[in-house]
Structure 1
Amino acid sequence: MRVIQIIDSLDAGGAERMAVQIANELQIAGHESHLCATRREGLLKKTIHESVGYISLEKKGRIGIKAMTKLKTYILNNKIEIIHAHSTSFFTATVIKWWLPSIKLVWHDHYGNAEEVENRKAGALKKCSRFFNGIISVNELLKDWSIHNLKPSKVIYLRNFVSNSLEQQLLKPLPGSAGKRIVHLANLRSQKDHTTLIKAFQEVYKNTTGWNLLLVGMDFQDDYSRDIKSTIEDLKLDEHIHLLGSRQDTIAILKACDLGVLSSRSEGLPVALLEYGLAGLPIVTTDVGACKEVVLDYGKVVPSQNINSLSQAIQEFIENPEEAKLMAHSFQQHVITTFGAASYIEKLETFYSSL
């Protein structure tokens, strides 16, 4: 099959990681695989396999006729049969489908606010969906929403996967001491609820010594970002909570940490949890989206927006290192077995073929 993944950017986010991973794994599986970044490149460009076809459009504005024409020409020249559009790139893909009706169009829904999906503003999406041949949703909530609100007859739930990554070296030393680092891997967006985590860490810090919290993810320099920094400063935790920004050495960072936390108030199926698992970290996550389904009994799952529950779960792992180690190992094996690339690509191939 000849398939192109379309994503708006190559910033280090969950949907972007999935687009790159799918493109890479399809190429490894023997397909002719391509990837298109419609608006801008980013850190993940370096993770695209050298044998994957790649095009950057630098699209400006809503339509971007010049960029659309460039993509259409690329698709024709490479005889691409399937467009696999991720998240908000559905509009670009729909325009191409309108120009090239014979091409198959799959839309991949990574919507992060799954708990609030009924409030989703989706006017353009609903109109475009009549051009979709199929939809992939990352959890059951999103699948049900698509079935009831969008047009295609083929809608499947296909949970995210994680590739076994190559070894990485830290680009620079990490703050804090080895054996006492907590990591939170998430871009600075409100649904990730860094504030609850920061306040939970304050409670942990009162009862332990030497622990540091590393916040890894893109800083958009907006009001939410400023609120996070202000909260850290007000709680006098500047020396123990560190914003590392978006990093190219994420794998190495995770392997240098000792506990992975996800404090979201809403999620789809977070790739961060799978990356924590591959890195062998014990997990504390909130019960949103597909998080509980992913973690099962291999980590601690707590209610969202609950400072006490989150701090208690973190504290329990800190006070019981042997339990943490055993659960981390079990979760790592669970991720490798259940969320590996081979099974995912096989299911994806079957879905493509059904179109």
Structure 2
Amino acid sequence: MRILQIIDSLNAGGAERMAVNYANALASKVTFSGLAATRTEGQLRQDINNDVGYLYLYKKKTIDLKSIFRLRKFIKNNKVEIVHAHGSSFFIAVLVKLTLPRIKIFWHDHYGPRTKESKFENKTLIAASLFFHSIFAVSLQLEEWNKKNTWCKKVSFIPNFTKEKKDYQGTTLLKGTDGKRIVFLANLKNPKNHILILKSFLELGLKDQDWSLHLIGKDYNDTYSQSIKDFIYSNSLQNAIHLYGQKDDIANILSQATIGVLSSTDEGFPVTLLEYGLAGIAVVSTNVGYCAEIIKNETSGLLFDPENILQTKTQLLKMVENQSLRDKVVEELKQTIFDNYTEEKVINQLLLLYKK
């Protein structure tokens, strides 16, 4: 097989990480594995392996004829059979297919909030789905939504995966006390719901117990991130809550943490939970999307309703105060990941779906 992954950007995000992961993993499994970034390069560019064919399209507008024909030429030159489009990159994939009907488009839906959206809000996607050969969804809820709302009849759930990184090279040093660091790995934007964790941290008085909170993710310098900064400043938490921006040494950062949190109001399949698990840190997570399938409450982590601050505080405090619970959930989550979400298991499943 000759397969091309397409993604709009290579900034650090769940869909972007998975596009790179798939391209890298398939390079040793198929005749050709490529990756095309349409609009923006980013920090994940450096993670693309040398044996992956790479193309940057410099796409500047919705319908950019130069980008379309640049992509078409790359597909023809490399005899690509399968175009695996992630997220909103389905649009350029369909435009190329109109000029090159032989290619098969496999669209990958990573967008958890879609399950709360209407057909009208997704009218372009639904029209485009007439040209999809198959749809992959990263959660059972997204699988159901696509089966119900799109024209594509082949819809399959496929989990995300991540690889264990044993070398913790990097320059980022987390502030705070060893053994008392809570890390929150997510870009500063909706629906990541950072303010819930900040309020819980404040109201539990964790600063006074020498705990610290570390926010790792892209700062868009908008009203969302400003509300976080205002909250930290107005509550005199500058010495306890720290913002680091976008970082590329995630394994190094997680090796310095004790607890990992995620508080999104909507999710698909957050790779962050797998990264926490492989890094050996205890997880306190929202229960939306596929999170409750990855994290079994009281067994491999603790779950909470992101609309319920009392429940969030209860679960966070329980993890902070109970070392034996932390040790137990870390081991259980690692085993869950090794049993279900390794590169080998997911790529074998993906290849079977391609072949179908």
Q: Is the 8 A contact 1:280 1:332 kept in 2?
A: yes
Match in the other structure for 2:163: 163
Match in the other structure for 1:248: 248
* CA RMSD of superposed structures (Å): 1.4
Q: TM-score, normalised by structure 2?
A: 0.96
Q: Is the 8 A contact 1:205 1:211 kept in 2?
A: no
Pair 1:179-2:179 in alignment:
yes
2:318 aligned residue (316, 319, 325): 316
Match in the other structure for 1:35: 35
Alignment deviations for residues 29-51 of structure 1 (CA, whole Å, 9 cap, x no partner): 24411000000100111111111
Alignment deviations for residues 218-266 of structure 1 (CA, whole Å, 9 cap, x no partner): 1111111111111121222111111111101011111110001001111
Match in the other structure for 2:99: 99
Separation in structure 2 between the aligned mates of residue 226 and residue 120 of structure 1, nearest angstrom: 32
Distance 1:269 1:152, change over 3 A: same
Separation in structure 2 between the aligned mates of residue 28 and residue 319 of structure 1, nearest angstrom: 45
Q: Is the 8 A contact 1:87 1:111 kept in 2?
A: yes
Tell me, what secondary structure is at the counterpart of 1:159? coil
Match in the other structure for 1:347: 349
Q: TM-score, normalised by structure 1?
A: 0.96
Tell me, what secondary structure is at the counterpart of 1:315? helix
Instruction: Specify the code of the residue in structure 2 equivalent to 1:327.
Output: V
Bigger Cα displacement from structure 2, 115-124 vs 323-332: 115-124
Bigger Cα displacement from structure 2, 225-234 vs 189-198: 225-234
Separation in structure 1 between the aligned mates of residue 212 and residue 157 of structure 2, nearest angstrom: 37
Match in the other structure for 1:327: 329
Distance 1:262 1:249, change over 3 A: same
Separation in structure 2 between the aligned mates of residue 277 and residue 353 of structure 1, nearest angstrom: 31
Q: Is the 8 A contact 2:172 2:252 kept in 1?
A: no
Tell me, what secondary structure is at the counterpart of 2:333? helix
Instruction: Specify the code of the residue in structure 2 equivalent to 1:350.
Output: L
Q: Is the 8 A contact 2:137 2:143 kept in 1?
A: yes
Match in the other structure for 1:189: 189
Match in the other structure for 2:17: 17
Paired positions, count: 354
Match in the other structure for 1:86: 86
Q: Shift of residue 208 of structure 1?
A: 4.8
Match in the other structure for 2:57: 57
Instruction: Specify the code of the residue in structure 2 equivalent to 1:323.
Output: L
Instruction: Specify the code of the residue in structure 1 equivalent to 2:250.
Output: T
Distance 1:248 1:241, change over 3 A: same
1:305 aligned residue (281, 304, 307): 307
Q: Is the 8 A contact 1:263 1:285 kept in 2?
A: yes
Identity between Structure 1 and Structure 2 (%): 40
Q: What are structure 1's unaligned runs of at least 5 residues?
A: none
